[in-house]
Amino acid sequence: GAVVSQHPSRVICKSGTSVKIECRSLDFQATTMFWYRQFPKQSLMLMATSNEGSKATYEQGVEKDKFLINHASLTLSTLTVTSAHPEDSSFYICSAPERQGLWGYTFGSGTRLTVV
Amino acid sequence: AQTVTQSQPEMSVQEAETVTLSCTYDTSESDYYLFWYKQPPSRQMILVIRQEAYKQQNATENRFSVNFQKAAKSFSLKISDSQLGDAAMYFCAYTSQTSGSRLTFGEGTQLTVNP
């Protein structure tokens, strides 16, 4: 089946630095990628939607300049957390609609970001 | 805007017993899709079951089945013969074409399976 590979699985960074999270579709072309943020014991909150070759669409309240999303190819979407602060510490998950028009989604394995 | 509500933050069940997780949603659309996802401690999202709104027949996947009540906007998940591996957070989710394929998730239900 369709697989989305997400890296890194966990990262610790210092305040003020930037961190890039990658999601690659391994055996299909992901024209759309959804980026979620999840706090402990809470639901997934959609942050933004990226589409290959165009600007990402951000949800209300999500800072575009802090969470930079790039979808430069049909197999790679990236989320860069810029000037990270401890409050950015969270679990980030990407997801792509399955191919073949099926109404389903493939999720990455998630990235646990800790900002110290 | 569509909303999904899971009113049970936590549920527990004895191994081999049956448990039902509740989900309600609000939408003005007639064509949409509903899902149940499982998130174990690894936090990998796993599809449990999905239902197309235009299908009257309730979806089933082995020990998992749904009770889809379109008029009542209810979409409950029944887990039969519960196993220890079923312990996880379960999320109900909604999507439609008009929502741009975006998934709207419920708050989640933490399921504990007691041996």
pLDDT digits (tens, 9 = 90+) for A44-73: 999 999 998 888 999 999 999 999 999 989
Is the pLDDT at A100 greater than 70, yes or no? Answer: no
Contact in structure between B91 and B69 (CB atoms under 8 Å): no
Q: Do A49 and B50 touch (CB under 8 A)?
A: no
Name the residue in chain A with its Cα closest to that of B42.
A109
pLDDT digits (tens, 9 = 90+) for B68-85: 999 999 999 999 999 999
Distance of CA A5 to the CA centre of its chain: 11
Q: Which two tokens stand for residue A23?
A: 């999601």
Q: Do B101 and A43 touch (CB under 8 A)?
A: no
Average pLDDT, chain A: 92
Q: Report the sign of the C-alpha dihedral through residues A107, A98, B58, B85, in that order.
A: negative
pLDDT digits (tens, 9 = 90+) for A26-37: 988 888 999 999
Longest CA–CA span in chain A (Å) reads 42
User: What is the distance in angstroms between the Cα of B10 and the nearest Cα belonging to chain A?
Assistant: 11
User: Residue A89 corresponds to which amino acid?
Assistant: S
Vertex B61: Cα angle to B60 and B64 (nearest 5)? 80
Between CA A76 and CA A79 the distance in angstroms is 10
Between CA A9 and CA A16 the distance in angstroms is 20
Residues of A in contact with B95 (CB under 8 A): 103
Q: Do B43 and A91 touch (CB under 8 A)?
A: yes
Q: For position A7, what pLDDT does the model report?
A: 97
Q: Which of A99-103, B23-27, B30-34 has the lowest mean pLDDT?
A: A99-103
Contact in structure between B85 and B63 (CB atoms under 8 Å): no
Between CA B90 and CA B12 the distance in angstroms is 12
